[in-house]
Structure 1
Amino acid sequence: MKSLLFRLAGIFSAEIGSELYLKLKEETLSPSLFCLDFTEVTEVTEVGWEFLRKMAERCKETGSKLAGFGLKSEVPSEQNAFFSFFSEEAECIHHLESFYIGDTPANELTPKSPQEGKTIHCPECQTLLRFKQMGDHLCPNCQSKFFVNQKGWVSTYERLL
């Protein structure tokens, strides 16, 4: 199961909402875990909330899970039925990982031998990649940059503006 962390910034409105929805729609061809970081989001507009609801529905249809953290404004009560919000990143990731049954993190496959290292899929082209440590990585196939944390979560370096 693939897992992605999206770091958002600015005003979450129709523009960002539609871009993120299209990206999420693309990634939900197979069940995935999506964590949305709202720590740098200053406001979520009414249309932004509608896109979050649509994303939650899409995830439900495909067996994917979606949650967010770090939102500075209050979550409207009608949104709580569709979307889980947490105050801390660790809580959000723990919640999402609870849906994945297995000993390895959601985006990581078990290595065949200790020399091989851990494996992940590139968030852009889905190429299977080996990595030995957390940190910044560059896909040799599509040249996309991404960050891998200790649990195998992948965070892409893209801005939705």
Structure 2
Amino acid sequence: MKSLLFRLAGTFSAEIGSELYLKLKEETLSPSLFCLDFLEVEEVTEVGWEFLRKITERCKETGSKVAGFGWKDQAAQNLPFGFQFFSSESDCIHHLESQIVSDIPANEFAPKSEEKTVHCPECQSLLRWKLAGDYLCPQCKTKFFVNKKGWVSTYERLL
């Protein structure tokens, strides 16, 4: 399952809301986790709230999860359409990860046999794996780690 963090700033209005909605619509072709950072958002307009409602609905339809953190207005902590705000980034991420209820790792297809597959985090090539450990994508040569549940972690490159 793909997870993305969006750092927002300024006024969350029609312009930012529509761009974010289109990006999330593109990313929800498969279930994903979306964490929205509102720390640098000064204001959310009425149209901005409507886009958050649309984003929440889209995520529900596709099995994706969305939440935010850092919004200063306490009245908006639990919105009527189900979007939730948390006090910190770690709380938000923990909540999103706790919403995953499948025994099958999110980035692994349901196995037809005992074969386990993951997608390369860089080029999205479908790769087979047997044991947890370090792997190298044969297509793009990206190094990554696969844990016992099939979660993929990339290694940062130092320049």
Query: Which residue is 1:34 aligned to?
Result: 34
Report if aligned partners of 2:77, 2:85 keep a CA contact under 8 Å in 1: no
Query: Which residue is 1:146 aligned to?
Result: none
1:130 and 2:143 correspond: yes
1:65 and 2:65 correspond: yes
Per-residue Cα deviation, 1:59-106 (whole angstroms, up to 9, x for no partner): 011111100000122444882442011011111000000022479996
CA distance in structure 2 between the aligned counterparts of 1:60 and 1:100, rounded to whole angstroms? 13
Report if aligned partners of 1:8, 1:38 keep a CA contact under 8 Å in 2: yes
Q: TM-score, normalised by structure 2?
A: 0.67
Residues 76, 115 of structure 1: CA spacing in aligned structure 2 closer, same or farther, 3 A cutoff? closer
More RCO (CA 8 Å, sep 6+)? 1
The more displaced of 17-26 and 105-114 is: 105-114
Structure 2, unaligned runs of 5 or more: 109-117, 119-128, 146-153
C-alpha displacement of 1:131: 3.5
1:13 and 2:19 correspond: no
Q: Which one-letter code corresponds to 1:88 in the other structure? A: S
Query: Which residue is 1:3 aligned to?
Result: 3
Query: Which residue is 1:49 aligned to?
Result: 49
Instruction: Name the count of aligned residue pairs.
Output: 129
Residues 42, 102 of structure 1: CA spacing in aligned structure 2 closer, same or farther, 3 A cutoff? same
Q: Which has the larger radius of gyration?
A: 2
CA distance in structure 2 between the aligned counterparts of 1:4 and 1:30, rounded to whole angstroms? 13
Residues 26, 41 of structure 1: CA spacing in aligned structure 2 closer, same or farther, 3 A cutoff? same
Percent identity, please.
Answer: 64
Query: Which residue is 2:92 aligned to?
Result: 92
Q: TM-score, normalised by structure 1?
A: 0.66
Q: The residue matched to 2:18 in structure 1 has which SS?
A: helix
